[in-house]
């Protein structure tokens, strides 16, 4: 609470270093939101080997995912969001990109759920950082390595 001035609704990066609890295959979500699930940026594990993101904005939902990642281990994950420049980075590698337009407003909260008390995060967190600008690819590679 009270961190709204540290979050940029136009562009930024959500970075986490997380692992699931062994045997937990439920969706484990960390999000930046406006207190609801209608305007939000979410990163989550959705299986033993899947990492995904959703961006809910005034445009259609933008989603992406990757499989083949051991979610029981700590993984460094960054989601860069900027209209026309969205990218998911996992462990030093850019794995998903999108040039779709997004329009986010009112982001002012970090939640360990989907913004509406659903899909609560149940795992281990080493780091959670929010950047007010979209970082360069070189910086994202270093951050997630």
Per-residue model confidence as pLDDT tens for the chain (145 residues): 567 778 988 999 999 999 988 777 677 899 999 888 889 999 999 888 899 999 998 668 999 999 999 999 999 999 999 999 999 999 999 999 999 999 998 999 999 998 888 888 989 999 999 999 999 999 999 999 9
Site of tokens 């950047």: 131
110 pairs with which residues across the strands?
A: 32
pTM of the model: 0.93
CB-based contact 14:88 (threshold 8 Å): no
């Amino acid at each position: 609470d009270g961190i709204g001035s540290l979050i940029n609704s136009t562009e930024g990066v959500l970075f986490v270093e997380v692992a699931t609890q062994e045997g937990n295959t439920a969706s484990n979500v960390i999000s930046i939101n406006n207190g609801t699930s209608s305007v939000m940026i979410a990163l989550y594990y959705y299986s033993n080997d899947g990492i995904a993101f959703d961006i809910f904005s005034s445009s259609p939902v933008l989603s992406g995912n990757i499989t083949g990642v051991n979610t029981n281990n700590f993984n460094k994950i960054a989601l860069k969001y900027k209209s026309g420049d969205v990218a998911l980075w996992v462990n030093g590698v850019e794995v998903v990109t999108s040039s779709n337009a997004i329009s986010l407003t009112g982001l002012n909260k970090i939640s360990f759920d989907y913004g509406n008390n659903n899909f609560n995060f149940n795992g281990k967190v080493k780091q959670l950082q929010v950047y007010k600008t979209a970082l360069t690819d070189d910086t994202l590679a270093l951050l997630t390595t």
